[in-house]
Each structure stands twice: as C-alpha cells, then as structure tokens.
A and B are shown apart, each in its own frame.
Chain A
C-alpha cells in the first residue's frame, strides 16, 4: 500500500501517455484539426519504407557506437589520472566537468562558429598550417555533419562520465591495491585484474546512460543543424519533432515515438540482463 501514491503518479504521468502515444500512432491527424482518421498499421508501413527513418536509425546507431568508443575510454583514462592524485587535481576535475554546466544551446552555437565554413576557426586553422585540402563545409557537409556533432557531444559529456567512473574508483578499497603492490603487480595488471572487474557494474551503468542518451539525443543536433543538410544528421528525436510540429503529422510522429520507445526498452532489457548475470555470479 505504501507504493500506491508512487504507482498512481507513475501510471498517470508515464504509463498512460506511453500507451496513448501507441494508440495515436494508428491515426492520421493534425494538431489543428480535431478529426482523426484511422490508419491501422498504415503509419508503420510508411515508416518501414521511409528513407529518412533509415537515415535516422543509422545516425542513432552511429551516435551509440561512437559515443561509447570516444567517451568511455577517455572518461576512464581521466578518472584514473585524476583519481590517483585527487586532492592536487581538484581544479582539473572542475575543468573537465564544466562543459556540462554550459547550456546545450550555448555549446551548439559556439561550436557552430568553430565549424563555420567561411570564417570559422577550424578552416582557418587548417589554412594557417598549409592543409588547405582539409578544409570542408563541416556542418554543411552531409557526410561530416553527424560526426561533427558527436565530437561536440563527447566533448560535453566525457567529464560527466569521468565523475561517475571516479565515484566507482573511489569505492574500491585501498587495501586491495596495497596487497597487489606487495605482490609486485604492474600498473597494467592491477588495472586489468583489480580495477576493471570491480568497476564492471558501474561501467555498465555508464554505458547504458550513454546508449539511452544517444537514442534520445536532440538538443545539440537541433541547435547546430536542425537535422540537415537535407536530413543527413537527422536522428529519431529530431525527425519526430519535425514531423509533429513542422509537418503537422501528429499520428506519424507518434509512430516514430513508438519506435524510439521500443529501442530504449531493448537497450534497458539488455542492461538488466547483463547486470542480473553479474549479480548471479557474485
């Protein structure tokens, strides 16, 4: 009975809208017109053949893989480096964390100027060191736009993940390391056989955070390219937003939202399985 208030709130704010989104995805309707027409699976059939959805899915996949590859090892390195001499490096810790405090809109606009093709810093830098051939349209180049934004996102979030890993590192008792040192274990062996196994849980949690964040990513893309040029940097969230509020196709947008929901669920189930396994082993 004690969970009843929480259950009611959960049902009201989470479960009902979620189920309702699924129901609405079976209709074709406009926010400006109260009349809805039944489509059945029509929206999903169209989604299946939709080239923009394919681009968005591939981009979300890129976001997940590249964010994991760029952010996790870097965050781990930073955490190890800072964790080894925490007191002295308090300033550094703040420095790495600071990009997260700056609002996404400001981050997006600053990096947009950095990537600016005509007078931006990046092209100017390449020209200054004689690498004229390396200059590009960056955010205006369909092949580079997504990559450019993922780099900004990694710049922004690596400090955050460093803090999470740092918390995990600090939870490992010092005497284990002492024992290892007495046994003459090298730094690499200590990391590989002590730190990493004991950190497994927290690394998994962090990986899930990065994955779910990459499925839902919206703000930086919207500020920097709005999913362009010609949809090249579109992801599920920007595509859903555009479909709903620019194209005014609410039913179709609800179908995209449902696809997002399913993907996030899959990621969560995988995570629960992984951590469950680990608990069983322990």
Chain B
C-alpha cells in the first residue's frame, strides 16, 4: 500500500510541525490516531463507529441504542468512538487518508459527504434501501436521502434534521407591538422598531464565520431558487454565478449590517455569547439552528424566566424572489459505511437498526431532536417545541441545505471569509463573487485531472420558477 504510507507520512509531517507549536483544542497529537478496523476480539465481529455525539444526552442515547442492538445481535459488537465536532472534521480525514477508516462514521450531508464519495471511501447502500419494496427507503422522512445520493447511488442514511430559524423574544416583540414578519420588508421594519440603546434587534456571533453566511445562503435561495444554486455550486459545472441574485443577496446582507441591526462587533462575538445576548434580552432575535433548542428551553443554560418567552419564525419571504418562499433551510447529519470495511453485512445490519422506528423513538425520547424516520416523533416522546418543529418540517415544500454544505470545501471557505469581511465592510459583493469563481475554476481543473463526478440532484417539482 504505497498510498497508505504516503498519506501517513504526509499527515505526520504536517502534524509534527503543528504539534511543536501546540495542538488545537482537545486534540493532542492529531496524527496519533490509530483505529483498529474490524479486528474481532473473540468470535464476535467488532465494528468501529465514529461519531460527533460526544456530549449528553446524545451520547447516552446512542450508547443505549447500541446496547439494544448488541442484545439482539450477539454476533456483532459496536465500538463507539465519540469525538468533539471540530476535531472530528480533521481526524476522520486523516484516518480515511491513511487507509484505515472506521467501519461506520458520521457525516454532514452535501459536499462534505460528496468529497468522501469522490475518493471511493463510502459504500453505496442503494440495493439495501430498495430491497423488499424499498421498505427501508420509505422509512426515511421527506426528501433527505436526496443529499446522500450521487450519480444515482445512495451512500448512507440521514439521521438528524437540523434547520435554522429566527428565534425571537416574545416579550420584546409584545412590548413594541411587533408581529413575526413574513416578508423581508416587514422584517426590516420590525428591526427598526425593536432597536433600542440597550437592545440590538438581532444577535450575531460570527467569530466562527458561518452564522453570517446563513443570511446570505437563505437570501440566495429566496432570490434565485435551489436549482440555480445547485447548478452553480457544482464544482464540475460551469460555475458562472452570472445571476444578478448573487450580488444582490450579498448586498441585502450588507444593508442589514449598515442598518445597525446586529450587536456590537459580530466578528468578535462567539456564537455562545450571541446566544447569551439573546436570552438576556439584550437582543430581540437570534438566527440559529434547532441545535440551540436545548439551551433555550426548560432545563437549558438560559435563565429560568426566559424559558417560556421565546418562539421562532421561518426566514422571511423576499418580495419578487424566484425561489420557493416557504422553503426551510437545514442540513441532515447522518452515517455512512466505509468502503474499506471488512464486514459490510454487519455494518448494514446496524445502520438499518439505527434507522428503525424503535431506535429513532428512543433517540427522540432522550434528546428531543428531530430524527428523520417516519413515526419517530410522537405526542408521547416529544415536547411541544419538537412536535411543532416536526410538523413544520413535514409541511415544508422543500428543505434547502446551507450554501457552505453544498459548496466544495475551499470554495465554501472563500464565501465564509467573504461574509466575514462583508460584516466589516472591507470587501464588495462583486469581489466575493470574483473570488468564488476563481477558486471554483481552480477546483474544477483539479477534479477534472482526477476524473470526478458531478453532484446529481433531482429537480424538485415544487420549487417555484
């Protein structure tokens, strides 16, 4: 295995230099990861499963699902390795590159997964999904499998549905007699009304770069529609970005900054601190994902008197936009099986169990999160927030992934950096688009040298325009 040695040495060399200067958070000697793939200890088949569910309550929920599975399948043992999300992103790349990846591992949908698929690192499970009258495929809620499908093959299962919404403080809205806005113009008016010396209309913690990009991502979808985005984002497509909607969307976000709707220095504010601004009523709104539900509701980190004083609304419709104005924005985290696994059958058996109503209900019960299995969320195991969220997802015409999960990694970084600079006003929308075009052309050349495939997404019929 020449490639294996090459990859190992490269990671060692690069990491050694970094390690001398200190390691990133919680990741001492990132290169020293040595997974033992599929080595059976005894008669049972042992599978390695890597996940980012390192925090409670997800960790316990997964442990319990695994315990139930092992009780029912004595011949298979699942060894769960949880890693903190930011460290996971680099670790999984290093072990995959070194040729000894875990059998089952966590993925983010879209381009992040596509990157693994391009290198033939993921096992397609299309046949298993379609077996028995596509009994398994029908279990998956909505159109989430779409973002796990490339060139007609489906790689893995989407499990958790995360969506972003405008969360708002109902007391501050009542005080100023503001209704949740349905359109962009209503939204701008609401911001102006809510603004006070001690209250910012919106909390924005952009030190991690992607929260500001969510606004741009949503505006682009509202203005141009999902199909336009998917075709431009495809690293092997023309990547022209010649629709005026791109510059317009970026400019609309810049106008929002200039209107003074955000807290002080968003680029110096962490996401956690933005959340704190929101639940201390220093900000009236907070655009965030359903991953923050647990922090805001009963028992979360927010103060007790805040627990019942918030609600959420979908990103406003943009007047004159060509996209579906009711679409939600979100991602679907899930699991895939490595193409290098020595035990594909056992791995598929587990993935199928993870995707069963039984396991899904257990997860919902413990974590109060939206699992993408039909019938997972019930009146018994969910609270009012989750029930409402689940209904909203079910009713949504389509759920559009955020731009940074659809763009090739380095192109996404260009957009994220651009949005951060846009908050400062140190770049123009035109410059951001030029940078993206240039970077994507570069990526395209590289992929063509490798002979890659493009992202095939079926055109959703319900997308307007």
Q: With CB as the reference atom, state the residue of chain B lying closest to A37.
A: B449
Residues A31 and B93 in contact in the complex (CB < 8 Å), given A219-B24, A247-B410 = yes
A257 adjacent to chain B (CB < 8 Å): yes
* Minimum C-beta distance from A120 to chain B (A): 9
Q: Is the CB of B26 within 8 A of A139?
A: no
B118 adjacent to chain A (CB < 8 Å): yes
Q: Is the CB of B207 within 8 A of A228?
A: yes
Contact with B119, one of A34, A135, A250 (Cβ below 8 angstroms) = A34
A61 adjacent to chain B (CB < 8 Å): no
Q: Is the CB of B209 within 8 A of A136?
A: no
124-152 of chain A: CB within 8 A of chain B? 135-142
A35 adjacent to chain B (CB < 8 Å): yes
* Minimum C-beta distance from B30 to chain A (A): 8
104-124 of chain B: CB within 8 A of chain A? 115-116, 118-121
Per-position 1/0 for B1-45, Cβ under 8 A of A: 001001101111110111011111110000000000000000000
Q: How many A-B Cβ pairs are below 8 Å?
A: 177
Contacts of B118 in A (CB 8 A): 32-33
Q: With CB as the reference atom, state the residue of chain B lying closest to A215.
A: B21
Contacts of A18 in B (CB 8 A): 13
Contact with A237, one of B11, B21, B267, B450 (Cβ below 8 angstroms) = B21
* Minimum C-beta distance from A126 to chain B (A): 13
Q: Is the CB of B9 within 8 A of A20?
A: yes
Q: With CB as the reference atom, state the residue of chain B lying closest to A16.
A: B9
Contacts of A231 in B (CB 8 A): 417
Q: Is the CB of B409 within 8 A of A230?
A: no
Q: List 13 A-B contacts (CB under 8 A).
A: A32-B116, A117-B265, A119-B282, A135-B264, A139-B207, A218-B18, A228-B267, A230-B417, A230-B418, A241-B18, A244-B14, A247-B410, A248-B410
* Minimum C-beta distance from B9 to chain A (A): 5
230-251 of chain A: CB within 8 A of chain B? 230-231, 237, 240-242, 244-250
B177 adjacent to chain A (CB < 8 Å): no
Per-position 1/0 for B253-286, Cβ under 8 A of A: 0000000000111111110010011000010000
Total contacting residues, chain B, CB less than 8 A: 61
A73 adjacent to chain B (CB < 8 Å): no
Q: Is the CB of A118 within 8 A of B25?
A: no
Contacts of A257 in B (CB 8 A): 13-14, 17
A79 adjacent to chain B (CB < 8 Å): no
Residues A228 and B209 in contact in the complex (CB < 8 Å), given A28-B446, A115-B268, A138-B265 = yes
Contact with B25, one of A35, A36, A37, A105 (Cβ below 8 angstroms) = A105
Contacts of B96 in A (CB 8 A): 31-32
Q: With CB as the reference atom, state the residue of chain A lying closest to B122.
A: A32
Top 3 nearest A-B pairs (CB, nearest first) are A140-B268, A137-B265, A219-B22
Q: How long is the Cα–Cα vector from A50 to B89 in the complex, in angstroms?
A: 25
Per-position 1/0 for A111-123, Cβ under 8 A of B: 0100111110000
193-237 of chain B: CB within 8 A of chain A? 206-209
Contacts of B266 in A (CB 8 A): 140
Contact with A226, one of B6, B97, B115, B208 (Cβ below 8 angstroms) = B208
407-465 of chain B: CB within 8 A of chain A? 409-410, 413, 417-418, 420-421, 423-424, 426-427, 446, 449-450
Q: Is the CB of B121 within 8 A of A246?
A: no
Q: How long is the Cα–Cα vector from A117 to B200 in the complex, in angstroms?
A: 13
Contacts of A28 in B (CB 8 A): 446, 449
A59 adjacent to chain B (CB < 8 Å): no
Contacts of A230 in B (CB 8 A): 267, 417-418, 420-421, 424, 426-427
Q: Is the CB of A137 within 8 A of B420?
A: no
Contacts of A141 in B (CB 8 A): 265, 267-268
Q: With CB as the reference atom, state the residue of chain A lying closest to B9.
A: A20
Q: With CB as the reference atom, state the residue of chain B lying closest to A104.
A: B22
Q: With CB as the reference atom, state the residue of chain B lying closest to A112.
A: B270
Q: Is the CB of B421 within 8 A of A217?
A: no
Contacts of A237 in B (CB 8 A): 17-18, 21
B359 adjacent to chain A (CB < 8 Å): no
Of the candidates A24, A36, A119, A229, the one having the most CB atoms from chain B within 10 angstroms of its own CB is A229
Q: Is the CB of B14 within 8 A of A118?
A: no
Q: How long is the Cα–Cα vector from A139 to B424 in the complex, in angstroms?
A: 13
Q: Is the CB of A246 within 8 A of B22?
A: no
B382 adjacent to chain A (CB < 8 Å): no
A253 adjacent to chain B (CB < 8 Å): yes
Q: With CB as the reference atom, state the residue of chain B lying closest to A253.
A: B14
A225 adjacent to chain B (CB < 8 Å): yes
Q: Is the CB of B420 within 8 A of A228?
A: yes
A30 adjacent to chain B (CB < 8 Å): yes
Residues A247 and B268 in contact in the complex (CB < 8 Å), given A31-B11, A104-B22, A139-B207 = no
Give me 16 other A-B pairs in contact (C-beta within 8 A), A140-B267, A250-B10, A253-B14 excluded.
A20-B13, A35-B450, A118-B263, A118-B273, A217-B21, A218-B22, A219-B21, A228-B267, A228-B420, A230-B424, A237-B17, A241-B18, A244-B90, A250-B97, A260-B17, A261-B17
Q: Is the CB of B409 within 8 A of A248?
A: yes
B94 adjacent to chain A (CB < 8 Å): yes
Contacts of A137 in B (CB 8 A): 264-265, 267-268
Q: How long is the Cα–Cα vector from A137 to B427 in the complex, in angstroms?
A: 18
A97 adjacent to chain B (CB < 8 Å): no
Residues A246 and B21 in contact in the complex (CB < 8 Å), given A34-B119, A228-B209 = no
* Minimum C-beta distance from B134 to chain A (A): 30
* Minimum C-beta distance from A99 to chain B (A): 14
